[in-house]
């Protein structure tokens, strides 16, 4: 973060024309090649989004008869949205509600647990910390998807499959978030501050909630964003855990709609799948726009030795 | 946290690999062990009627478009029975969930829709109820011979047939007329038509085929091939038999000549190609008209139906697709579940099924004049059911699917699919498919030879 302050403290118009050499580290030379590559990458990232936006305005017939990156004969965005929200007795809204539930409870809980545990591991010395660290690194290396099947068999023995807990409980554990919070807490909270609080007579719980948590906000937001995105996009776990459509999150529900186009008795509803996908990413885009300030500062934390 | 991006990329790669591994693992769960679970109550023909009178609640998993109307009609007729209809997914999603629930010992429905090709996979390990104990074997005469065979595995009867898909040749008359192509009666004529069409307009193809296990097995079936046979724990696989060779002899010409469009079925591109004439014909199941009417509106009035081309000009065809409804061993009320299956595919459920555009397996409906002679506006007023019901009579006998057909279908793309992509001889891919299947079968505890 010290780099940011340094940059800001420079005069805003640094010496036009002469004086500073063109290779000054503070005003890096522009590279046409890099700019070009970034532009290509920008197109690469935005074209699918543009396609999604344009396709969401088309009827099922227009989708099959008009070019992908331009409008169709009719502008059907609003009727598509209406159909998406009402198809099959409005099951899309139910899926949206489910996703929100899994995200709020699952990702929220995961962030809380990761923050508390990361803080504890960073700031308290106790036997077995190294062991925890080793286990944690191992857990980061194993992707959740690989554990889905064993988790299914375990939950099945507990009678928890086909319930919301089958999605929420596994989502509560985020080894990567814990690791991030651990590293972040060790840097962001000076030991002296905790000592001062203790001398002033604050209890450990109070220190965590009133002193530590405030210093940890950028880290918490980063972990929260990671957890929200992971839970929002969670597909394989709910796919195998749930067989009741009214518990599905959006990801599994939309796939089911998409698969309707296959085989005997096919009923393709691509226009609803596409409009549904568009509606699905809107909340995520909004979350990113609101939280990205925190996120950026969280990402760069620890990159500069203070 | 510079590494976080790289790490998330790596996690993504790992995750993708893990999904693949887990899917294989799930598929591997199938077929190997006996998992019926609950003690099996003794059934009898009377038990079915008694269960209907007593009432109760059952769960039914299905993705067929007619299921909702059927369940509503059933509950109206039997108000003391409650049927929970669940759409657990289409095709493989549905089977994965079913297999998981069987493996876990709980959570399976009482009645499930199962495609004919998947039936042995669930029936042979003992996950389904043999409906002979309810006397359902006496209904044989109500169904076509081919679908009746399809609901059997070993000696057992594991469902009553719902729809059927005897194959016929659907063709775009507008395209055929424009390029002066007559409707082919033999496969040699079909290849010639494919060459003529593609030469006249390189953007048009006689049909599309980018490698589809269901289509390939049906085509081998039509050619008289019997590559798969199962006897208890013994499975033999021979994708080098005469029938298979007969099919590759014809299809190689189309594939290596680039005469078939590389358009995967059921994609939006495919639906589009059916409407705009890019795909000029389609050898497929008799259920296709319902799909075209609903989803290929641009093709209205252009398409017609003809009998399948054959190797010698004599009528011969195969089944493609179609499902049955089966009772799961896990069911707490198998008699009521069996009663529902009987109503669904033998009694009151047939009418709503026909109304939804399905193609029946019940002989009475296949002979019913109002069904047979009904003109279809989509097909330019042609009485298409005359062709399609005729096709139901000429299905080649003696076909059976593998007891791990679903797994076989998932690896089709990695083996035979490669021949398609390389436009090379299909036999290379078929050999690879056979080798992979023999290895897998032995791993699953079958005495597999090929």
Model confidence pLDDT, tens digit, residues A63-116: 887 888 888 888 999 999 999 999 988 999 999 999 999 999 999 999 999 999
Partners of residue B322 in chain A, C-beta under 8 Å? 264
Cβ <8 Å between B21 and A146: yes
Which of B:342-401 have CB within 8 Å of A?
356-358
* Chains A, B: CB pairs < 8 Å: 135
All domains of chain B, ordered by start, with CATH? 35-164+322-367 (3.40.190.10), 167-318+397-449 (3.40.190.10)
E-only strand ranges, B25-80: 56-61
Cβ <8 Å between A156 and B107: yes
| pLDDT exceeds cutoff 60 at B442 | yes
**Assigned domain for A175 exists:** yes
| pLDDT exceeds cutoff 70 at B65 | yes
Cβ <8 Å between B298 and A303: no
- B39 CB near a chain A CB, below 8 Å? no
Q: Could you identify the residue written with the tokens 């985020």? A: A174
Q: How many Cβ atoms sit within 10 Å of the Cβ of residue B311?
A: 17
Picking from A145, A264, A270, the nearest residue to B22 by CB comes out as A145
CATH code of the domain covering residue A185: 1.10.3720.10
| pLDDT exceeds cutoff 80 at B26 | no
User: What is residue A158's three-state secondary structure?
Assistant: helix
pLDDT tens digits for A243-279?
889 999 999 999 999 988 887 778 889 999 999 999 9
**Assigned domain for A118 exists:** yes
Residue of B nearest to A271 (CA): B268
- A8 CB near a chain B CB, below 8 Å? no
Cβ <8 Å between B103 and A153: yes
Identify the band that residue A293 occupies on the pLDDT scale cut at 50, 70 and 90: confident
Task: Please tell me the distance in Å from B44's CA to the nearest CA on chain A.
Answer: 31
Cβ <8 Å between B321 and A263: yes
Task: Read off the tokens for B205.
Answer: 């193809």
| pTM reported for the whole predicted model | 0.81
Task: Read off the tokens for B187.
Answer: 């496969």
Cβ <8 Å between B266 and A263: yes
Interatomic CA distance for residues B213 and B413, integer angstroms? 8
Cβ <8 Å between A146 and B87: no
Coarse DSSP helix, strand, coil percentages of chain B, rounded to the nearest 5 percent: 50, 15, 35
pLDDT tens digits for B183-228?
999 999 999 999 999 999 999 999 999 999 999 999 999 999 999 9
| pLDDT exceeds cutoff 80 at A300 | no
Q: How many Cβ atoms sit within 10 Å of the Cβ of residue A18?
A: 6
Task: Read off the tokens for A37.
Answer: 């590559």
Residue of A nearest to B27 (CA): A149
Domain range holding A94?
77-300
**Assigned domain for A184 exists:** yes
Interatomic CA distance for residues A55 and B388, integer angstroms? 37
C-alpha dihedral (B381, B387, B389, B391), degrees to nearest 10: -160
* Helices and strands per DSSP (H, E), number in chain A: 16, 0
Cβ <8 Å between A261 and B266: yes
Picking from A146, A153, A222, the nearest residue to B18 by CB comes out as A146
| pLDDT exceeds cutoff 50 at B398 | yes
pLDDT > 90: what percent of chain A?
A: 51
- A35 CB near a chain B CB, below 8 Å? no
User: What is residue B228's three-state secondary structure?
Assistant: strand
Query: Quick one: average pLDDT of A145-149?
Result: 82
Task: Please tell me the distance in Å from A258's CA to the nearest CA on chain B.
Answer: 9
Task: Read off the tokens for A164.
Answer: 């919301």
Partners of residue A140 in chain B, C-beta under 8 Å? 7
pLDDT tens digits for B111-147?
999 999 999 999 999 999 999 999 999 999 999 999 9
- B300 CB near a chain A CB, below 8 Å? no
Cα angle, residue A259 at apex, residues B64 and B271 outer, rounded to 5°: 95
Task: Read off the tokens for B204.
Answer: 């048009």
Cβ <8 Å between B266 and A260: no
A7: exposed, middle or buried (Cβ count in 10 Å: 0-12, 13-18, 19+): exposed
Count of the separate structural domains present in chain A: 1
Residue of B nearest to A163 (CA): B107
Cβ <8 Å between B15 and A148: no
Query: Quick one: average pLDDT of A156-160?
Result: 90
Cβ <8 Å between B1 and A302: yes
**A206-209 own/partner pairs: CB under 8 Å, 24+ apart:** A208/A116, A208/A119
- A243 CB near a chain B CB, below 8 Å? yes
Cα angle, residue A107 at apex, residues A105 and A108 outer, rounded to 5°: 60
Residue of A nearest to B20 (CA): A146
Q: What residues have CB less than 8 Å from A200, skipping those under 6 apart?
A: none
**Assigned domain for A109 exists:** yes
Q: What residues have CB less than 8 Å from A182, skipping those under 6 apart?
A: A117, A118, A121, A122, A136
B76: exposed, middle or buried (Cβ count in 10 Å: 0-12, 13-18, 19+): exposed
Task: Read off the tokens for B318.
Answer: 């195969």
* Helices and strands per DSSP (H, E), number in chain B: 19, 15
Task: Read off the tokens for B154.
Answer: 């070993």
Task: Please tell me the distance in Å from B165's CA to the nearest CA on chain A.
Answer: 9
Pairing assessment for the beta strands B111-115 and B56-61 based on DSSP bridges: parallel
Query: Quick one: average pLDDT of B285-314?
Result: 94
Q: What is the pLDDT of residue A26?
A: 65
**Assigned domain for A134 exists:** yes
**Assigned domain for A66 exists:** no
Q: How many Cβ atoms sit within 10 Å of the Cβ of residue A27?
A: 13
Going A34 to A37 to A43 to A45, the CA torsion angle's sign is: negative
Task: Read off the tokens for B357.
Answer: 């555009």
Residues in chain B: 450
- A175 CB near a chain B CB, below 8 Å? no
C-alpha dihedral (A262, A266, A271, A274), degrees to nearest 10: -30
Query: Which neighbouring-strand residues pair with B284?
Result: B168
Partners of residue A153 in chain B, C-beta under 8 Å? 103-104
B435: exposed, middle or buried (Cβ count in 10 Å: 0-12, 13-18, 19+): middle
**Assigned domain for A125 exists:** yes
User: What is residue B30's three-state secondary structure?
Assistant: coil
Partners of residue B88 in chain A, C-beta under 8 Å? 243, 245
Q: How many Cβ atoms sit within 10 Å of the Cβ of residue A164?
A: 16
Cβ <8 Å between B287 and A140: no
**Assigned domain for A60 exists:** no
SS3 assignment for A59-108:
CHHHHHHCCCCCCCCCCCHHHHHHHHHHHHHHHHHHHHHHHHHHHHHHHH
Which has the closest alpha carbon to B323: A265, A255, A257, A245?
Answer: A265
């Amino acid at each position: 973060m010290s780099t940011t302050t340094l940059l800001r403290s420079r005069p805003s118009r640094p010496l036009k024309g002469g004086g500073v050499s063109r290779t000054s580290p503070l005003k890096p030379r522009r590279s046409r090649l890099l700019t070009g590559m970034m532009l290509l990458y920008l197109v690469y990232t935005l074209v699918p989004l543009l396609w999604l936006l344009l396709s969401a305005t088309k009827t099922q017939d227009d989708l099959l008869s008009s070019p992908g990156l331009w409008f169709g004969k009719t502008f059907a965005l609003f009727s598509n949205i209406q159909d998406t929200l009402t198809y099959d007795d409005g099951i899309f809204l139910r899926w949206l509600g489910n996703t929100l539930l899994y995200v709020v409870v699952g990702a929220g809980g995961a962030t809380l647990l990761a923050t508390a545990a990361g803080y504890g591991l960073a700031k308290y010395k106790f036997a077995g910390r190294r062991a925890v660290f080793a286990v944690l690194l191992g857990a980061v290396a194993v992707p959740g998807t690989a554990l889905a099947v064993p988790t299914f068999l375990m939950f099945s023995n507990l009678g928890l499959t086909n319930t919301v807990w089958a999605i929420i409980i596994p989502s509560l554990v985020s080894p990567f978030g814990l690791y991030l919070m651990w590293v972040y807490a060790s840097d962001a909270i000076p030991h002296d501050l905790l000592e001062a609080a203790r001398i002033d007579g604050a209890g450990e719980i109070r220190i965590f909630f009133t002193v530590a948590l405030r210093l940890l906000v950028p880290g918490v937001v980063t972990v929260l964003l990671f957890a929200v995105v992971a839970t929002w996009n969670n597909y394989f776990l709910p796919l195998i855990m749930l067989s009741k459509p009214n518990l599905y999150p959006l990801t599994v529900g939309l796939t089911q709609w998409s698969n309707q186009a296959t085989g005997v008795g096919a009923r393709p509803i691509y226009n609803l799948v596409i409009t549904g996908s568009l509606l699905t990413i809107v909340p995520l885009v909004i979350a990113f726009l609101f939280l990205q300030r925190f996120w950026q500062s969280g990402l760069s934390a620890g990159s500069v030795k203070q | 946290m510079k590494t976080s991006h790289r790490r998330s990329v790596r996690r993504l790669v790992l995750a993708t690999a893990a999904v693949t591994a887990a899917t294989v693992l799930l598929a591997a769960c199938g077929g190997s062990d006996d998992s019926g679970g609950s003690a099996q109550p003794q059934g009898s023909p009377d038990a079915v009627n008694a269960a209907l009178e007593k009432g109760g609640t059952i769960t039914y998993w299905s993705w067929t478009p007619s299921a909702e109307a059927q369940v509503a009609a059933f509950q109206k007729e039997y108000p003391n029975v409650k049927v929970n209809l669940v759409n657990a997914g289409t095709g493989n999603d549905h089977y994965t969930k079913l297999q998981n629930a069987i493996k876990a010992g709980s959570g399976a429905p009482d009645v499930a829709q199962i495609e004919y090709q998947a039936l042995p996979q669930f029936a042979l390990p003992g996950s389904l109820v043999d409906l002979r104990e309810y006397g359902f074997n006496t209904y044989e005469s109500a169904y076509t011979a081919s679908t009746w065979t399809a609901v059997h595995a070993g000696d057992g009867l594991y469902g009553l047939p719902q729809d059927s898909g005897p194959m016929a040749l659907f063709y775009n008359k507008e395209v055929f007329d424009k390029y002066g192509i007559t409707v082919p009666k033999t496969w040699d004529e079909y290849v010639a038509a494919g060459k003529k069409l593609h030469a006249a307009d390189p953007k048009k193809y006689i049909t599309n085929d980018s490698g589809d296990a269901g289509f390939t097995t049906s085509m081998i079936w039509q050619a008289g091939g019997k590559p798969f046979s199962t006897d208890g724990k013994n499975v033999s696989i021979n994708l080098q038999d005469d029938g298979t060779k007969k099919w590759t002899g014809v299809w190689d010409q189309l594939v290596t000549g680039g005469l078939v469009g590389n358009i995967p079925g059921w994609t939006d591109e495919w639906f589009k190609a059916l409407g705009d004439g890019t795909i000029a014909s389609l050898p497929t199941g008799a259920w296709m008209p319902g799909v075209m009417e609903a989803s290929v509106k641009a093709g209205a009035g252009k398409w017609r139906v003809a009998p399948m081309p054959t190797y010698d000009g004599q009528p011969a065809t195969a089944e493609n697709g179609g499902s049955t409804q089966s009772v799961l061993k896990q069911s707490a009320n198998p008699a009521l579940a069996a009663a529902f299956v009987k109503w669904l595919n033998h009694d009151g459920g047939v009418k709503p099924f026909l109304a939804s555009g399905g193609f029946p397996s019940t002989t009475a409906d296949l002979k019913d004049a109002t069904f047979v002679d009904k003109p279809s506006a989509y097909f330019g007023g042609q009485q298409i059911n005359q062709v399609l019901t005729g096709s139901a009579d000429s299905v080649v006998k003696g076909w059976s699917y593998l007891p791990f057909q679903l797994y076989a279908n998932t690896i089709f793309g990695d083996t035979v699919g490669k021949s398609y992509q390389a436009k090379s001889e299909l036999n290379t891919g078929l050999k690879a498919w056979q080798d992979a299947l023999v290895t897998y079968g032995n791993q699953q505890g079958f005495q597999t030879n090929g």
